[in-house]
Amino acid sequence: MACLYFSAGHPAGSRPTLPTTQEILYYAATTIHADGAGINKQPPTVSYTNRFVPTIVSVTSPTQTHVINLLGRDITITLTATNYEYSWGDGTPNTVTTSPGLAWEKGIDPNKDPRLIRHYYTPPQGWRSGFDGPYPHENREITLRTTWSGTATNPFTGETQTINGLVTTTETTGEFPLSHLVINNTDTWEEKQGH
């Protein structure tokens, strides 16, 4: 990161040194407070450990803009997410992607659609079924680290420049419990099956 100081004062007859676009972007990185990309987790308050019931994540804000004032000029800085790294909180390898993902909705196959970012949690403590006793209570937390590029147009020269990896943000879902869906066959269901 660059620590920059720009002065409006200059010796008589000389021209002030104007910041380069790169200097503007590095200055912005030290002064703006970038927001996270906004984790959208489905289901929102729990994750299931059943086979074929994934936890699906996506982001809600893959771009953001900020305005800084430098030497009396307002300069718009546009941040664009370029890399997402999800830590699932269960000791499995992180998922790194350039995709913002997609929120699941009816009609999308949660296990096969390539646009979805999914993770399959496994039951804690080796639990397999009710024969192993009650389902163990354990929480998990997803952490998202997002890398952003920054783009600005220099108001003094008109040059537009983008710097990759200008800002990094980290956010979490907060803790959520693991659970396991139990499907019970009712007498009515069995009767419909001819049993």
- Name the residue ranges covered by the structural domains of the chain: 21-178
pLDDT of residue 108 exceeding 60: yes
Structural Rg of the chain based on CA atoms: 25
CA atoms within a 13 Å half-sphere pointing along the CA-CB vector of 156: 15
Please name which of 61, 68, 59, 56 lies closest in space to residue 23, comparing C-alpha atoms.
68
Please name which of 163, 146, 145 lies closest in space to residue 154, comparing C-alpha atoms.
163
Angle of CA points 130, 186, 191, to nearest 5°: 140
Per-residue pLDDT reduced to its tens digit, 82-97: 999 999 999 999 999 9
Determine the pLDDT at residue 2.
40
The arithmetic mean of pLDDT across residues 160-182, rounded, is 96
CB burial string 83-118: b at 16+ within 10 A, e below: ebebbbbbeeeebeeeebbbebeeeeeeeeeeebbb
Separation CA 59–CA 146 (nearest Å)? 10
Q: Which helix (H) or strand (E) holds 25?
A: helix 21-31
Can you give the pTM of this predicted structure?
0.84
Per-residue pLDDT reduced to its tens digit, 2-20: 444 444 454 555 667 899 9
